[in-house]
Amino acid sequence: INIDFENLHKNDRDKLTTFMKKLYSTFHADGLMVTIDVPPENPAFDYINLEKYCDRMMLMLYDENYINPGPIASSSWFEDALSSIPKDKLIASLGNYGYDWDWESQQGGKAVSFEEVMRMADKANLKVQWDDMSKNPYIRYKDNNKSHELWFLDSATFYNQWKMTVS
């Protein structure tokens, strides 16, 4: 069984750990594996205690930025996050999408697939740029005179992340 609770409040931290403890003992009695999806650096998750009550932890290594423009999973953020879960429990969960931010909007970025990014870049003859610091690609463009910034993950980021994960 895999548990994937999203948007938990930090006040529910102990309740989640208690839930996982009960679930783990119940499912392990029947020889079943228990896993949990966890975001990096989230105070609602007691990583040290949760690792006692699961066989694997799927670390969601994406969404570093989704409210404000920026990398989806910068290499430094990614590498730091990897160290938060014991290697024998870790399953690295990687993204393959992006966020398109309208600079004039107060809303978070709009999720876009890699296919949508490439189609838009090709159709509008947009140049994909590379941020050396984060090691993530991005595109800047205007739509109806509104500035947009679109950050995404691609095969280069996947390869770099895979190398960090297996080392």
Query: Tokens at residue 49, please?
Result: 């205690």
Mean pLDDT score, 64-81: 96
Tokens of 47: 């990583």
- Sort residue 117 into left (φ over 0), alpha (ψ -120 to 50) or beta: alpha
- Residue 49: DSSP 8-state: H
Q: Which amino acid is at 2?
A: N
Residue 54 in tokens: 């699961």
pLDDT given at position 47 = 96
Q: SS3 for 78?
A: helix
Residue range 118-154, pLDDT digits in tens? 999 999 999 999 999 999 999 999 999 999 999 999 9
Q: Count of alpha carbons within 13 Å of 130, Cβ hemisphere only?
A: 7
CA distance 59 to 38: 5
Give pLDDT, residue 167: 85
Residues 105-121 pLDDT 10s: 989 999 999 999 999 99
Which residue has 């941020």 as its token pair? 131
Q: What is the mean pLDDT of the chain?
A: 96
pLDDT in tens, 18-51: 999 999 999 999 999 999 999 999 999 999 999 9
